[in-house]
Structure 1
C-alpha cells in the first residue's frame, strides 16, 4: 500500500501545477530537475550544468537529492516531478482533453520507472528526450515509452519492394537500418502530438538536427501517411520525382501490406486471433504480428504460457512487447 502513496500524491498534485513546465533529466534512477516561473528559473538547490540539456531548455539542469518513487510526496520534489506531464501542447494540434490525459498518464508512468528518458518543457509543450532504441522504420522507444513517428508509414521489416526492372530489394530492412543510423549516438527529442490505438505516443521527433519523419520520407523509405497528416507530402513529392527508395519501381504501401498479411493470418489462426505471444529463452514476452519476419517460424505453446492475441492493444496490455529488429 505504501508504494501507492507517491503515485496518489503525484496525481493529486497535477492540477495545481499545470502552468509550471519542468526540465527533468535522468541521472541513474534519480533525476535532475529545474522548473520555470514566468521568465525566470527556480532550481533544485545546487546549480550544475548538464550535457543532456535539450536545446529548448530555458533552465540549466541541476543536481538534486534523489527523487524516486519511494521518496516523492507532497513536497517540492513531488511538485517538480508532477509538473512535466502538465506541460500540454495547445489546441493548435487539435488534441482533445481525453488524448492529453492519456499522454499525461503515459509520461507520468515512465517518469516513475524509466530513468533512460528525460521529460522537458519546450514552448510548444512536453519534450521526451533520450537515447532511442529502434523498433522498425517508424517506431522507436525512449526508455519505456514507445513512440510512433508522426505523419509517416515506413516499409515493414519483412517487406520487399521492386525496381522498375523487376529486381527485388529488402526495403523493410533498409527502412529499419536507416532509422537506426539516424538515431545512433544521438539524443532524440520528441514532441508528443497524439496517441494511437496501441497507447503509443505519436510524436514529431528530431535527432542530430534532423526531422526523423522528413528524413525517412525524403529517402524514399516511408510514405507520407496522408490518412492522418500531410506534414510530409512535400518531402514525398520530392522523393517520388527523384525515384528514391520505394519510388524506384512498384511498391505496395505498408498499410496494404499489413492488411493482406493480416487477412491471410486470420484464416489460419485459432479463433481468428493471429498475433503470436511468444516467450523467449530469456523469458521475454514478445509478440509477433503477421508481417513480422519471424512470424512463420514462431510456434505458440500455450502450456508454457504463450498465447494468441486478437490485436496489438491486447498483447501490450497483457505485458508483451513488439519484436524489435535493431
Structure 2
C-alpha cells in the first residue's frame, strides 16, 4: 500500500535535468518529456513578424534563440501543472534555473518574446506583459499577431506591437501571413491545414521529404522541425507517406 503514495510523489515532483533541449520559444524538452512554459505563448518557430523598421523579421527563430540563451547549459527544474491545452502530448510547467529568482516563464514574458495566456495562478504574468509592452521589449517593438492567431491563420486578427502603422495595415498583414511562408533552417516538414482532417480531430496533414508528393504539395501553411512538433500542433502524417523515421 505504500507504493501508491510514492508513485504519486514521483509523478508530481519537479523534474531536474542536467541538460534541457530548447525546441522553440516556450518549449523545453527534458528527457522524453516536452514541457510548455505555462502562462506563456511565444511565436512559433516559423512565425514571421515585422520589426520596428518595417522589415520582415524571423521572430519565431529569435524567440527560440533567446530562450536558448536564458537556459544556457544550466540545470532546469520543471514543475508540472497538468496537460498543455494548446499542444497534444505536452505538459504545462513552471520551469526555473538554479540560482535564478524568477521562473523561465516570467523571464520570457519580461523579455517581450512571449504573450501572457490563461494559466494557473502561479503562472499568471499579465503584469509582466504590460511592462514589456510599455517598454517595447522584444516583439512589442515591432508588429506581430498572437501566436494562437498565427497557428489558426486568422488573417483578420488584432495587430500587436508598437510599430503597427494603421496606414500600412494591408502590407503588414501580408507580411505576417505570407502566401509563401519562409522555411526556418533545419525545419523541412511541410504542413497544410485540411478541412477533412478535422473529422479525426486534427488541424491538417504534414509531409516529410520521403512522402511521394512532398515536392509537388501546394505551398505549406506551416513548417515543422520534427514530426513530434507537427503532431503536437495537431497535424497527422499524410496517408501516402512512406514509413520512415524523422529527426526528433
TM-score of the alignment, normalized to the shorter chain, above 0.5: yes
Which has a greater percent of strand?
1
- Give the SS at the match of 1:87: helix
TM (norm. structure 2) is: 0.63
- The 8 Å contact of residues 207 and 241 in structure 2, kept in 1 or not, is answered as no
- The 8 Å contact of residues 154 and 223 in structure 1, kept in 2 or not, is answered as yes
Q: Tell me: CA distance 1:182–1:269, structure 2 relative to 1, closer, same or farther (3 Å).
A: farther
Do structure 1's residue 213 and structure 2's residue 105 form an aligned pair?
yes
Partner of 1:191: 79
Partner of 1:253: 146
Which stretches of structure 1, 4 residues or more, deviate above 4 A after TM superposition? Answer: 227-230, 267-273
After the TM superposition, which residues 214-293 of structure 1 pair with which residues of structure 2 at under 5 Å, given as runs? 214-226=106-118, 231-260=124-153, 265-267=192-194, 274-276=204-206, 278=208, 290-292=221-223
Q: Tell me: CA distance 1:187–1:301, structure 2 relative to 1, closer, same or farther (3 Å).
A: same
Q: C-alpha displacement at 1:199, in angstroms?
A: 2.8
- The 8 Å contact of residues 194 and 205 in structure 2, kept in 1 or not, is answered as no
1 or 2 for the larger relative contact order (CA 8 Å, sep ≥6)?
2
**Deviation digits for residues 152-196 of structure 1, max 9, x if unmatched?**
000111112123442222110111101111222111001111112
Q: C-alpha displacement at 1:221, in angstroms?
A: 0.5
Q: Tell me: CA distance 1:291–1:227, structure 2 relative to 1, closer, same or farther (3 Å).
A: farther
Q: For the aligned residues, what is the CA RMSD? A: 3.6
Larger-gyration structure (1/2): 1
TM (norm. structure 1) is: 0.49
After the TM superposition, which residues 1-326 of structure 1 pair with which residues of structure 2 at under 5 Å, given as runs? 16-19=2-5, 83=6, 85-87=7-9, 104=11, 126-130=13-17, 131-197=19-85, 198-208=88-98, 209=100, 210-226=102-118, 231-260=124-153, 265-267=192-194, 274-276=204-206, 278=208, 290-292=221-223, 302=240, 304-305=242-243
2:205 and 2:48 map into 1 onto residues whose CA distance is 21
